[in-house]
Amino acid sequence: MSFGPFLLLALMEGLVTAAVLALAASGLSLVFGVMRVVNVAHGEFYMLGAVIAWFVTTLVPGPAWAGFLVALAVAPVAVGALAAAADRLVLRRLDYDPEATIVATIGLLYMIQQAALSFYGPDARPVAAPFDWRLQLPWFGYSGYKLFVVLAAAVVLLALWLFMTRSKVGLVMRATQVDRDVAQAFGIDVDLVYMAVFGIGAALAAVAAVLIVPIQQAHYLMGHDPLLLSFIVVIIGGLGSLRGTVVAALVIGLSDGVISMFFSPTLAKILATLLVALVLVFRPQGLFGVRDR
Amino acid sequence: MTNLLMPSRRALLKGAGAGVLAGMLPATVGAQAAPIKVGFQLHRTGIGASYGRWYERTVTAALKKINAEGGIAGRPVEILFEDDATDPKRGAEVVDKLTQSDGCDVVMGTLFSHVVMGSAPRAGELKVPYLVCSEGYHVASGALNRWTLQPGITDVRSQISSMAPWVAANLGKKVTMFYPDYAFGYDHRDHFSKAIAAQGGEMVAMIAIPPTETSFTRYFAQIPADTEVLYHVMVGPAVLTFVKELGEFYGTGPKPQLFGFVDSLEAVDTATPGLEFLEGSHFWEAHPRVKPADAGEFEAGYREAVGVDDNGTSVSDAKDVATYSHMFSTWETLHFLKQAMEAAGYTGPADRQKLVEAMEAITDLPYGPERPQGAKVFNGKTHQVFGVQHISQIQSGKLVQVHTTSMEDGMYEDAVDYTTMAF
């Protein structure tokens, strides 16, 4: 394959990675930004979204797109509800103490993973794509669905941005992020905000998973990689910064696509990790993060 | 008043009496027929789970048959399954637990070669016979030890030696290979490149894929344009994604001939939407998934026993596709164990060395209900069994057997003589 098409394929692959990563990482970033909780179970909420998508598409009769749309609605709500319950029952009782919540979410990680293993099983199961369209370029073919994933992720992120910047609820969340005590003094139910934020963060991971599951397959161990990559993205972009998360996801996704295609996927991971180290040394608050006041 | 600290004399006597009785009980039962305990290292979870599910079913069916026919040397047999999560480190712990805590006479059943590599040294230390069902060339290469044998399935080197001439003669001589980046994949890489060179062919690219990879399109761009044959062998939960993305990548454009090891499709329905591009491509199979017209006389009985229909799917769930080209190895290994234990006059763990020597003395393994995949020859020096291979083509979405090799096609010179090694 000559250089041009090679680069094109690398960029397309990178864009898909970036899109899904941006969605998953924005959930992690939101939770950290508002609640200052490092959610280690984030990858398992992602996995749960994929597993629920498999159950839903199996149960819903009719064409593949119908099942997919139902999954796109049901999975984030179910995962968000579970996360909100976890916040209410576990995190709130720990008073959102940073160290304690890390340990608690590690516990949550294992509980969700083992529950999926028990109830869903150890197999990787495919979910049919909502439509079957392939883009045939002169040099290679490409899945039309993958392009749809990029588009859908962009729409969801735009909606999230509008929600955070233009809606009343978004304003309340941002107020809580800036100063929890003052927000409470102004009559904001901080507990409710935290519960909602944790739920929305998990729901974003679930949306990413429902979008990716027709490309990959639903598997109980699939949460590891997205968790690691989300952390990389969030650290580079700046914890709590949505804009930084999206920019970092694009950088990591596209460089992953290009480096892993021209060199090797292992090198791409090495460089991403190196970048994290450099950011932590020279700009610990991340590219777009704000230093603690 | 009696309590635990101040028991009455009567309670004390009763307790003592019961203790004596209980102490006698196992001795009496044991004298009749203590069961032979076979430890099974099972990939119940982790990346080998679909294989593990079928390995468990197949060996359970073999166990039922052997016990119905009187067990081993008149003793009943029981199997203790222990999950290794398809993880090498856990694998060694499982061998340890099955041998030391559960008191198993032998350990068997491991498929994934990195788990075999991680577990075999521990089996050697514990001096327990370790019968793997793995295909890896690690046994016959001499990398392992006197306690590790592979009597139920041929190894990759042998499979490749018998495939390469056919590939070169029928599909093409410039080969690009996709292989998993660990022990099993290295066997393919090392031996296929030698075997194809011997046929006047060459490898134009060799592309390693990490075993936990979930996305493959990025690797396809590395396929050189002058590739005539794409040789693929993938394993793990992502195999379906691999073949689907390969189809998307080539689309309706020109593509090289495809030759795959059926590992790339084990437990996957060949008629899955998105796999249409595989139509007409060829696969190695050890044991044809779709029952061939000229199947041997014991094929039907075996399929019934393990609960697989003529299409290679579970009789109770048509979506549950068998790992048919691998699972027979557990059936054949258990029967091999029976034969060796009876030949050795095995009575207990003290006879483990005698048992290994009896296995090494076995050579001819004729076709029969014990060996539904076909006749085999066991090489006691290399601890490896040899047999026939098949090539199938996908026709109308089904694997149809088109070629069967001879046993000689897969023979190669010995690389080790384990019988000269100390126990």
pLDDT of res. B8: 64
Q: Give me the pLDDT at residue B41, please.
A: 97
Triad B378, B380, B383: Cα angle to 5°: 80
**Least CA distance to A145: which residue of chain B?**
B248
How many angstroms separate the CA atoms of B118 and B89, rounded?
Answer: 6
Q: Does A84 touch chain B (CB under 8 A)?
A: no
**Nearest-CA residue of chain B relative to A224?**
B212
DSSP 8-state code for residue B72: B
Measured between CB atoms, does A117 come within 8 Å of chain B?
Answer: yes
CA–CA separation, A21 vs A29, rounded Å?
12
Question: What is the C-alpha to C-alpha distance for residues B292 and B312, in angstroms, rounded to an integer?
Answer: 11
Across the interface, whether the CB atoms of B49 and A123 are under 8 A apart is answered: yes
User: Which chain A residues are within 8 Å of B44, Cβ to Cβ?
Assistant: 122
Give the CA distances from residue B216 to residues A47, A265, B112, B206, in Å, rounded to whole numbers and listed in that order: 20, 10, 21, 15
Dihedral sign, Cα of residue B358, residue B360, residue B361, residue B364: positive
Q: What is the DSSP letter of B35?
A: P
pLDDT of residue B30: 44
Specify whether B49 is located in the same domain as B99. yes
Cβ-based contacts of A9 with chain B (< 8 Å) = 217-218, 221
pLDDT given at position B108: 97
Task: Check whether residue B288 and residue B402 sit in a common domain.
Answer: yes
- Name the DSSP class of B169: H
The CATH number given to whatever domain includes residue B248 is: 3.40.50.2300
Compare all CA atoms of chain B with the CA of A266 and give the residue at the minimum distance: B210
Shortest alpha-carbon distance between residue B309 and chain A (Å): 21
**Does some domain include residue B321?**
no
- Fill in the amino acid letter for A182: V
In a domain, B7, yes or no: no
Among B54, B217, B246, the residue to mutate for chain A (most A Cβ within 10 A):
B217
**Whether residue B146 is found in the same domain as residue B51:** yes
CA distance A14 to chain B (A): 9
Min CA distance, B284 vs chain A (Å)? Answer: 23
Among A217, A262, A269, which would you mutate to test the B interface (most chain B Cβ atoms within 10 Å of its Cβ)?
A: A217
CB contact under 8 A, B52 and A1: no
* Predicted-assembly ipTM surpassing the 0.90 threshold: no
B210–A266 CB contact, under 8 Å: yes
Domain shared by B171 and B265, yes or no? yes
Question: What is the structure's pLDDT at B6?
Answer: 57
In whole angstroms, what is the distance from residue A126 CA to residue A180 CA?
43
- Asked if A141 lies within 8 A of B249 by C-beta distance, the reply is yes
CA angle A62, A68, A74 (to 5 degrees): 110
The DSSP bridge partners found for residue B149 are B131
User: Hey, what amino acid is at B217?
Assistant: T
B84 and B56: one domain?
yes
Domain that holds residue B363: 34-155+327-388
Total count of domains within chain B: 2
**Cα A215 from Cα A16, distance rounded (Å):** 10
| Interfacial B residues in 186-215 facing A (CB < 8 Å) | 210, 212-215
The confidence score (pLDDT) of residue B13 equals: 59
Q: Confirm or reject contact between B253 and chain A (CB < 8 A).
A: yes
pLDDT of residue B17: 58
Chain B segment 134-193 residues within 8 A of A by beta carbon are: none
Do B205 and B215 lie in a common domain? yes
Q: Nearest CA to CA, how far is A36 from chain B (Å)?
A: 31
What are the pLDDT tens digits along chain B (423 aa)?
Answer: 445 555 566 665 565 555 555 555 444 444 457 999 999 999 999 888 889 999 999 999 999 999 999 999 999 999 999 999 999 999 999 999 999 999 999 999 999 999 999 999 999 999 999 999 999 999 999 999 999 999 999 999 999 999 999 999 999 999 999 999 888 899 999 999 999 999 999 999 999 988 778 888 888 888 898 999 999 998 877 888 888 889 888 888 888 999 999 988 888 888 887 788 889 999 999 999 999 999 999 999 999 999 999 999 999 998 899 999 999 999 999 999 999 999 999 999 999 999 999 999 999 999 999 999 999 999 999 999 999 999 999 999 999 999 999 999 999 999 999 999 998
Residue numbers in A near B55 (CB within 8 A): none
Distance CA A264, CA A258 (A): 9
Q: Are residues B252 and B398 in the same domain?
A: yes
Contact A240, A178 (CB under 8 A): no
Report whether A288 contacts A52 (CB < 8 A). Answer: no
B272/A265 Cβ within 8 A: no
Put simply, whether B10 touches A (Cβ < 8 Å) is no
Closest residue, chain B, to A221 (C-alpha): B46
- CA-closest candidate to residue A11, choices A262, A234, A243: A262
- Residue B38 resides in a domain: yes
What secondary structure, in 3-state letters, does A32-78 show? HHHHCCCCCCHHHHHHHHHHHHHHHHHHCCCCHHHHHHHHHHHHHHH
Q: How far apart are CA B312 and CA B268, in angstroms?
A: 10
CB contact under 8 A, B220 and A257: no
Measure Cα distances from B99 to B35, B108, B126, B144, B360 in Å.
15, 11, 8, 18, 22
Q: Per the domain annotation, does B417 fall within a domain?
A: no
How close, in Å, is residue A117 to chain B by CA atoms?
8
Burial-class residue A22 by CB neighbours within 10 Å (0-12, 13-18, 19+): buried
CA distances from B74 to B31, B353, B359 (A): 12, 21, 19
Q: Which residues from A are below 8 Å from B205, CB to CB?
A: none
Chain A residues close to B274, C-beta within 8 Å: 132
CA B238 to centroid of chain Cα atoms: 19
What chain A residue is nearest to B51 in terms of C-alpha separation? A123
**Contact across the interface for A122 and B52, Cβ inside 8 Å:** yes
Find the CB nearest A217 among B53, B213, B237. Answer: B237
**Is B218–A260 a contact, with Cβ atoms under 8 angstroms apart?**
yes
- The rounded radius of gyration (Å) of the Cα atoms in chain A is 19
Q: What is the pTM of this model?
A: 0.83
Mutate to test the interface with A, among B218, B222, B249 (most CBs of A within 10 A): B218
Cβ-contact B387, B373 below 8 angstroms: yes
CA distance linking residue A28 with residue A43, whole number of Å: 9
In a domain, B415, yes or no: no
In a domain, B129, yes or no: yes
The three-point CA angle B298-B303-B309 to 5° equals 135
Decide if A216 and B248 are in contact by the 8 Å CB cutoff: no
**What DSSP string describes chain A?**
--HHHHHHHHHHHHHHHHHHHHHHHHHHHHHHHHH----TTHHHHHHHHHHHHHHHHHHS-S-HHHHHHHHHHHHHHHHHHHHHHHIIIIIGGGTT-HHHHHHHHHHHHHHHHHHHHHHT-S--B----S---EEE-SS-EEEHHHHHHHHHHHHHHHHHHHHHHHSHHHHHHHHHHH-HHHHHHTT--HHHHHHHHHHHHHHHHHHHHHHHTTTS-B-TTTTHHHHHHHHHHHHHH-TT-HHHHHHHHHHHHHHHHHHHHHS-HHHHHHHHHHHHHHHHHH-TT-SS-----
Between CA B352 and CA B354 the distance in angstroms is 5
Is A6 within 8 Å of B272 when comparing Cβ atoms? Answer: no
Separation in Å, CA of B57 to nearest CA in chain A: 16
Nearest to A116, CA basis, from A31, A52, A169, A197: A52
pLDDT of residue A113: 94
Q: Which one, of A129, A144, A147, lies nearest residue A19 by Cα?
A: A147
Q: Which parts of chain A sit beneath pLDDT 50? A: 293
DSSP single-letter state for residue B97: I
Of B213, B238, B253, the CB nearest to A124: B238
> Left, alpha or beta for B43 (phi > 0: left; psi -120 to 50: alpha)?
beta
CB within 8 Å: B218 and A1: no
B248–A143 C-beta distance less than 8 A: yes
The distance from CA B344 to its chain's CA centroid, rounded to whole angstroms, is 24
DSSP B293: T
**B217 with A13: Cβ contact below 8 A:** yes
From CA B201, how far away is CA A287, in angstroms rounded?
52
Dig out the tokens for A72 from the structure: 């796109």
Q: How far is CA B318 from the centre of its chain?
A: 23
Beta bridge partners of B131: B108, B149
CB-CB under 8 Å, B250 with A6: no
Considering only CB atoms, which chain B residues are within 8 Å of A121? Answer: 49
- Residue A142 contacts B, CB cutoff 8 Å: yes
Contact A172, A38 (CB under 8 A): no
Task: Say whether residue A128 is in contact with chain B using an 8 A CB cutoff.
Answer: yes
Q: Are B36 and B102 in contact (CB under 8 A)?
A: no
Of B225, B253, B267, the CB nearest to A136: B253
Verify that B195 and B91 share a domain, yes or no: no
The answer to whether A42 and A35 have CB atoms below 8 angstroms apart is: no
Q: Are residues B257 and B361 in the same domain?
A: no
